[in-house]
Chains A and B, each alone.
Chain A
Amino acid sequence: MLAFEATWSLMTPEIVLGALAMLVFTIDFMTGIHEKKPFIGRLSIFSLLVTAVLVLVMNPQGGQIGDTFLVDPFAMVFKLIILVGVALVIMMSMNYLDRNEDIYQGEYYSILLFTALGAMIMVSSADLITLFIGLEIVSISSYALAGFKKHNIDSTEASIKYIVLGGTASAFILFGMSYLYGLTGTTSLYEIGAAMPELFADYTVMIMISLLFMLGGFGFKVSMVPFHMWAPDVYYGAPTPVTAFLATVSKLAAFGIIIRVFTLGFESIYAEWAFIVATIAAITMIVGNFIALTQQDVKRLMAYSGIAQAGYILVPIATVLNNFSITVIIFYSVAYIMMTLGAFSIITLVSEQSGRKTGMDTFAGLYQRSPYMAVAMAIFLLSLAGLPFTAGFIGKANIFLLAINGNMLWLAIIMIVTSIISFYYYFGVIKQMFMAEPKPNAEEIKVPGGIQAVVTVTLAGTVLLGILPNLLLDLFTGFNWMI
């Protein structure tokens, strides 16, 4: 057996979260599975917050466990994003679960906790095996979550589609990894990275195949074109809070490992793949934004919008991989998770109180039904569209700056043109909310506390970071992201 000095304390947050998730699971069994269980929801949020505190108090210079598990600022910030993201998803789910009696609440919460655990392992991993384990924890949990409304045919369809395609994506990743392992005899990203320049000279084709397969597999998770086909159907069929989870935490964690793998493993052959990623980014932005124009369903619209947003995040990766571009990506990720979770919590609210439909017209006259929610939704959409005084704008502006500075003017132009095209569909929702009259039989909107809280928190973040972005930027600029 391989024996190494391991500072297992670096995994404290993961271990604690795992234990708490088990606890939630056990309590759920002991209290009967059919009940409404708000206390389990609260316990789950508590678990996530405890874990977040544990992450926060760790030494940012961190360290590593035998080249497989890293704690560095990159991992820590991503973990915080993940934990807060999952906590917000749970908050927005609580009322949803109470209204949907066919969902077993306890399982739902514990599975979400496990996804958070998996995502944390993903962003901390520096080894292909660790990475894959984290990824599969998230994936398998997500398949289950997508099908959680098991008597609903759309939800079941979403789950099946997601399993089949997601399994294929995992196979892609494993296939790509197997080439790397075959050529280097190691699964450590550090060692792979060290051997890369020489390997690439000798086995150019095999390395490129490996890289492309891994990119495709990870790209599936972030819904980049052409691996995006699952997103609209799964987003549409899955319970709305689960859709929010898939669009944010799952996607960002996958971005985390793309950055990790490409930085540690493939940075030395950057020139070989930058153009490929740039092309994919361009196609992703174009396809996402153009198909979104034709959508009549808000959840599908958000799926295509999410595809387009993935394209924006790919731009800095394609431009340059350094400390600065990681700052840009992480800032955008924070902005993205806030505006997207905010938007999805309002979609959850509106669709639940409009007969569980998610057509564009459910938003008709929302301003009359609930002014605060309509204004908040408008701000989230403006932020997604990248209009001023929102976090989304600053994030996009940073990406532009990076692209232009990195001589990727064409990519910046595609980004801005597609962003302007996106005005059309984002403002289409705004038009419904402010210009259309509510349907005659529309219920009065009652805003449950959980959704109110999520909307308020994400709205404050979206606006605050739009006006005072240096709150985060100054902090991030001081970080040396990766060790």
Chain B
Amino acid sequence: MMGNILLWLIVVPLVGALLILTIPREYTNVIRSLAGLTAAVALVLSLVLWGMFDRGAAGMQFYEQLEWFTLGFMQVNFEIGADGLSVPLIALTTIVTLFSIVASFTIEHRVKEFYVWTLVLLTGMLGVFVALDMFLFFLFFELTLIPMFFLIGIWGGKMREYASFKFLIYTGLGSGIMFITFIVIYVQAALVSFPDPMSFSIVELTEAYTEGAAAGAVGGAMKGGMFLALFTAFAIKLPVFPFHTWLPNAHVEAPTAASMILAGVLLKMGGYGLIRVGFGIMPDQAARFATLIAVLGVINIIYGALLALVQTDLKALVAYSSISHMGIVLLGIASITEAGMQGAIFQLVSHGFISALLFFMVGAIYSRTKTRTISEMGGLSHSVPVLAGFMLAAAMASLGLPGMSGFVSELMAFIGIFGAPAEILPQAVTLGVIAVVGIIFTAAYLLWAMQRTTFGPPKEKYAGLVDAKPMEYVPMVGLLAFTILIGVYPFILSDVINTTVIDLVSKIGG
């Protein structure tokens, strides 16, 4: 047990948070370094995990199960494990969190609490990606809610309180739906397997619903309802149109570091949950609702892009671009092909890096220009060439420039959708074509925004701005490096996820 690296991953940030609690609040530099150190240790652990992970094996690795508590016939376990779906997301989480902690070294207001909450958030996020018991999964999912509420509400922009409450209620509602559905899924299976005990284990439930007793015994209408409810729950987090309205508020008001984590990791929990629980447990329902998911994906891509096009606030533009990009995840998932599923996971990881970088750039520029209004910027390439350059690079990555990670994930998702089996997704080609057209809008809003902010004649008022500081190079270079790494050498990622994806898709197809 003590040797389980996943357990250490969850515990380390918590220990870091507790250590920070013991430090007097005046020692801000000690607190900052300790927070950075904790995140770095977590990052190292996740890289060790990456190295130790057996690429060839399907199923869970680093598996651990401990009895937690029982209630009547219900058994809740502390059950953790990782497969090719969770390992990349664990790495993404630690990387983005470390960079966001570095990016927040400039925060001077209530430093101690800021890092305590960030590290608690890190625990919650890692917990979601390693939990294999639905109850535990839910606990960690909810645990991320509280720190993010505080991060937005205390360190956010002008409308922070409104944004934090909107975030709380929306995602809380998602969690509520999720919890009810989990219990329904569990109770249905437990009734079938009665008198044999049933745990909340995702692995066990997946087996029960795909091959075991519950596969035939639970009715189609019930399963359909459960799948749609689960989809709604995760759709709020991802977010999927029409449940996306919390996102622009939360992203725009959140402090830079929180925006990075929010877009970089928290949204991915929605996609992860959808694949792990929704597709894992009810693959037949995933196939049944593939068209619906694909249509929503296309709506997300186009609607998000159109809204991004009309934004006047640079941060809001990036926020809406997240909605648009999450549409690609849906599209890839809905194709139910290996390529599409890989594309979806690639997109989760790739967008994690790119959106974190974009939000960091917006934050860095805002701290200098004191405005995020696009029309008031302009000529930044003259006044802050390095920042403008990195921002341009991030925008290029976001619109899917070949050689960067966004391109790989979009390409694979589209290969998936065009190759989708006709009996599952009859309108695949039509949807694919519409989505590709939607991608053009992405290029449009990003290029137009870059033109208005970085290019153009230099503005008088921005003449004296200081360009990138050494500390800012760390997140900029780091995040961009990962984007390019995945872009030019996608094998590094596909190697890890491949076996799991093949395993997953074979269940849906069959």
Evaluate contact between B165 and A473: CB separation under 8 angstroms.
no
Contact A388 B69 (CB under 8 A): no
Contact yes or no, A404 B143, CB < 8 A: no
Which of B46-54, B169-177, B239-247, B264-272 is the contact stretch? Answer: B169-177
Residue A417 is within 8 A (CB to CB) of chain B in the complex: yes
Query: Would you call A420 and B176 a contact (CB within 8 A)?
Result: yes
Q: Is there an interface contact between B169 and A420, defined as CB atoms closer than 8 Å?
A: yes
Interface: B12 (CB within 8 A) = no
Chain A residues with Cβ under 8 A from B183's Cβ? 400-401, 404, 412
Q: Is B429's beta carbon under 8 Å from chain A?
A: no
- Chain A neighbourhood of B143, CB < 8 A: 388-389
Chain A residues, CB < 8 A from B164: 431
Cβ 8 A contact of B146, one of A387, A404, A469: A387
Q: When A420-B172, A420-B173 are in contact, do A477 and B70 touch as well, CB less than 8 Å?
A: yes
Contact between A401 and B187, CB atoms less than 8 A apart: yes
Complex Cα–Cα for A344 and B71 (A): 30
Partner of A382, one of B146, B161, B169: B146
Q: A473 near B69 (CB under 8 angstroms)?
A: yes
| Complex: chain B residue closest to A427, CB-CB | B168
For the complex, what is the distance from the CA of A404 to the CA of B179, rounded to whole Å? 11
- Flag whether A152 is at the interface (Cβ < 8 A): no
List A contacts of B142 (CB < 8 A): 387-388
Interface presence of B184 (CB below 8 A) = yes
Q: Mark B149-163, 1 if CB is under 8 A from A, else 0.
A: 110011000000100
- Docked Cα-Cα span, A417 to B71, in Å, equals 23
**Cβ of B154 and Cβ of A434 under 8 Å apart?**
yes
A427 to chain B: which residues have CB within 8 Å?
A: 149, 165, 168
Please tell me if A204 contacts chain B, counting CB pairs below 8 Å: no
Contact B69 A435 (CB under 8 A): no
- Report if B464 contacts A (CB, 8 A): no
Q: Which residues of A contact B140 (CB under 8 A)?
A: 388
Contacts of B173 in A (CB 8 A): 417, 420
Nearest A residue to B153, CB-CB: A435
Is the CB of A409 closer than 8 A to any CB of chain B?
A: yes
Indicate whether A470 sits within 8 Å of B69 (C-beta atoms), given known contacts A401-B74, A401-B187, A434-B150. yes
Q: Give the interface residue-count category, chain A.
A: 35 or more
The answer, yes or no, to whether B23 is at the interface (CB within 8 Å) is no
Given contacts A324-B72, A401-B74, A473-B71, contact A423 B187 (CB under 8 A): no
Given contacts A434-B154, A435-B154, contact A423 B172 (CB under 8 A): yes
Find out whether the CB atom of A400 lies under 8 angstroms from the CB atom of B168.
no
Q: Mark A384-406, 1 if CB is under 8 A from B, else 0.
A: 00011100011001101100110
**Chain A CB within 8 A of B40 CB:** no
C-alpha gap A401/B134 in the complex (Å): 13
Residues of B within 8 A of A424 (CB): 165, 168-169
Contacts of B339-371 to chain A: CB distance below 8 A: none
A90 vs B1: C-alpha distance when bound (angstroms): 45
Q: Mark B182-201, 1 if CB is under 8 A from A, else 0.
A: 01100100000000000000
Is the CB of A416 closer than 8 A to any CB of chain B? yes
B138 at the interface (CB under 8 A from A): yes
Q: In the complex, what distance in Å separates the CA atom of A417 from the CA atom of B175?
A: 10
B139 CB-CB contact with A under 8 Å: yes
Q: What residue in chain B is nearest A322 (Cβ atoms)? A: B72
Q: Does B27 contact A (CB under 8 A)?
A: no
Nearest CB in chain B to that of A470: its residue? B69
Whether A431 lies near B71 (C-beta < 8 A) is no
Q: Within the complex, what minimum Cβ distance (angstroms) separates A319 from chain B? A: 13
What is the total number of residues of chain B having a CB less than 8 Å from a CB of chain A? Answer: 33
- Within B120-144, the residues touching A (CB, 8 Å) are 135, 138-140, 142-143
Residues of A within 8 A of B176 (CB): 416-417, 419-420
Q: Does A413 contact B (CB under 8 A)?
A: yes
Residues of B within 8 A of A434 (CB): 150, 153-154
Asked whether any CB of chain B lies closer than 8 Å to the CB of A202, the reply is: no
Give the shortest distance, in Å, between A332 (CB) and chain B (any CB): 12
Chain B nearest CB from A296 CB (Å) reads: 16
Q: Are B139 and A409 touching (Cβ within 8 A)?
A: no
Q: How far is the CA of A388 from the CA of B69 in the complex (A)?
A: 14
| B180 near A413: Cβ-Cβ < 8 Å | yes
Known: A388-B142, A401-B187, A404-B187. A474 touches B70 (CB 8 A): yes
> Is A164 an interface residue when CB atoms closer than 8 A count as contact?
no
Residues of chain A within 8 A (CB-CB) of B161 are 431, 435
Interface bits A445-483 vs B (CB < 8 Å: 1, else 0): 000000000000000000000001110011001000000
In the complex formed, the residue of A with least CB distance to B68 is A470
Q: Mark A368-396, 1 if CB is under 8 A from B, else 0.
A: 00000000000000100001110001100
Chain B residues near A382 (CB, 8 Å)? 146
Contact call B138/A400, Cβ cutoff below 8 A:
no
Assembled-state Cα–Cα distance A401/B187 (Å): 8
Q: Nearest CB to that of B150 among chain A residues?
A: A434
Bound form: Cα–Cα A236–B68 in Å: 41
- Are B180 and A404 interface neighbours, CB within 8 A? yes
- A421 surroundings in chain B (CB, below 8 A): 169
| Distance in angstroms between the alpha carbons of A434 and B153 in the assembled complex | 9
Within 8 A of B (CB), among A356-375: none
Q: How far is the CA of A470 from the CA of B444 in the complex (A)?
A: 57
A382 to B161 Cα, complex, angstroms:
18
Closest to B191 in A: A405
Contacts of B92 in A (CB 8 A): none
Collect the chain B residues with CB atoms within 8 Å of residue A387's CB.
Answer: 142, 145-146
A416 to B187 Cα, complex, angstroms: 17
Complex contact A412–B180 (CB within 8 A): yes
Chain A residue at smallest Cβ distance from B135: A397
- Chain A residues, CB < 8 A from B145: 387
Take A387-B145, A420-B173 as given contacts and tell me if A398 and B180 are in contact as well, using a CB distance cutoff of 8 Å.
Answer: no
* Bound CA span A397–B37, Å: 36
B219 to chain A, nearest CB (A): 15
Q: A401 — which chain B residues lie within 8 A by C-beta?
A: 71-72, 74, 183, 187
* Interchain CB contact under 8 A, B153 and A431: yes
| CB of B42, distance to nearest CB on chain A (Å) | 20
- Contact of A388 with B139 in the complex, beta carbons under 8 Å: yes
Shortest Cβ gap from A444 to chain B (Å) = 17
Contact residues in A for B154 (Cβ distance below 8 Å):
434-435
Which residues of B sit under 8 angstroms from A431, Cβ to Cβ? 153, 161, 164-165
| The one of A389, A400, A412, A470 that contacts B70, using a Cβ cutoff of 8 Å | A470
Quote the shortest CB–CB distance from A295 to chain B (angstroms): 16
Contacts A324-B72, A470-B69, A473-B71 known; 15 new A-B pairs at CB < 8 A: A397-B179, A398-B71, A400-B183, A404-B183, A416-B179, A417-B173, A417-B176, A419-B176, A420-B169, A421-B169, A423-B172, A424-B168, A427-B149, A427-B165, A431-B153
Provide a sorted-by-A list of 28 A–B residue pairs whose CB atoms are within 8 angstroms: A324-B72, A382-B146, A387-B142, A387-B145, A387-B146, A388-B140, A397-B179, A400-B183, A401-B183, A404-B184, A409-B180, A412-B183, A420-B172, A420-B173, A423-B168, A423-B169, A423-B172, A427-B149, A427-B165, A427-B168, A431-B153, A431-B161, A434-B150, A434-B153, A434-B154, A435-B153, A435-B154, A473-B69
Closest 3 A/B residue pairs (Cβ): A470-B69, A388-B139, A416-B176
B residues engaging A (CB < 8 A)? 68-72, 74, 135, 138-140, 142-143, 145-146, 149-150, 153-154, 161, 164-165, 168-169, 172-173, 175-177, 179-180, 183-184, 187
